[in-house]
Amino acid sequence: EVQLVESGGGLVQPGGSLRLSCAASGFTFSSSWMSWVRQAPGKGLEWVANIKQDGSEKYYVDSVKGRFTISRDNAKNSLYLEMNSLRAEDTAVYYCARCIFGRSAGYFDYWGQGTLVTVSS
Amino acid sequence: EIVLTQSPGTLSLSPGERATLSCRASQSVSSSYLAWYQQKPGQAPRLLIYGASSRATGIPDRFSGSGSGTDFTLTISRLEPEDFAVYYCQQYVSSAWTFGQGTKVEIK
């Protein structure tokens, strides 16, 4: 059974930093693109970042470029999101998701339950 | 950036009725890169349809997807009580993934 379990969310002040983690199991993590997708309270879904299997390619939504860094540790089956210079508009539930990505596919097939990040003073 | 616009914003229907949800893209999207998700309150999204028309594993055949270019449709042939939820379309192009704003299917 595929499992994605996020952790690391919490309350942080504007300008602060936070590191999210996602522990993966039930599939070959090292063979999968992985993603972070967020959802602000009462709002829709927003893709945040993607990382290739070996970490050699990373993509970000414009609003987080230069502030967030996605990374992975295939030996630990773990995905990370380092978030710096946090703003109130970064407040959201952050989901870890597996991304099926290739020449003829670009979607998220498994999702974690999410971790809430609140940016407030 | 491609913008996905979903309509209607809210669909009020009764169990057993047919639901037709629209997703319109601001530019042409490859059907290979169009997906649909269902999200219930307090839950993570669930993949329903990928490649515009392929059902994900375990998705009932009352869910179907169609469309091409800029216009895509998710159809639920006969609504079951568990189908009342929010539905999102999603696309990929040029190293960016975007979602529509969602359509809420509520019980009439």
Mean pLDDT, rounded, for A33-61:
98
Q: If we measure between CA atoms, which residue out of B86, B2, B61, B58 comes closest to residue A106?
A: B2
Q: If we measure between CA atoms, which residue out of B90, B93, B65 comes closest to residue B77?
A: B65
pLDDT in tens, A69-115: 999 999 999 999 999 999 999 999 999 999 999 888 999 999 999 99
What residues in chain B have per-residue pLDDT under 70? none
Q: State the pLDDT at residue A47.
A: 98
**CB-based contact, B47 to chain A, within 8 Å:** yes
| CB-based contacts of B12, cutoff 8 Å, min separation 6 | B106, B107, B108
**CB-based contact, B32 to chain A, within 8 Å:** yes
The total of other beta-carbon atoms located within 10 Å of residue B41's CB is 6
Instruction: Determine which of A98, A107, A108, A116 to mutate to test the interface with B (most B C-beta atoms within 10 Å).
Output: A107
A45 contacts B33? CB cut-off 8 A: no
B91 chain-A contacts, CB cut-off 8 A: 106
**CB-based contact, B102 to chain A, within 8 Å:** yes
**CB of A99 closer than 8 Å to CB of A88:** no
Percent of chain A with pLDDT over 70: 100
**Closest to A107 (Cβ–Cβ): which among B90, B95, B96?**
B90
The CA-based angle A67-A121-A60, given to 5 degrees, is 20
Beta strands in A18-104 (DSSP E): 18-25, 33-39, 45-51, 58-60, 68-73, 78-83, 92-102
What is the Cα–Cα distance from B4 to B34, expressed in whole angstroms? 10
**CB of A40 closer than 8 Å to CB of A91:** yes
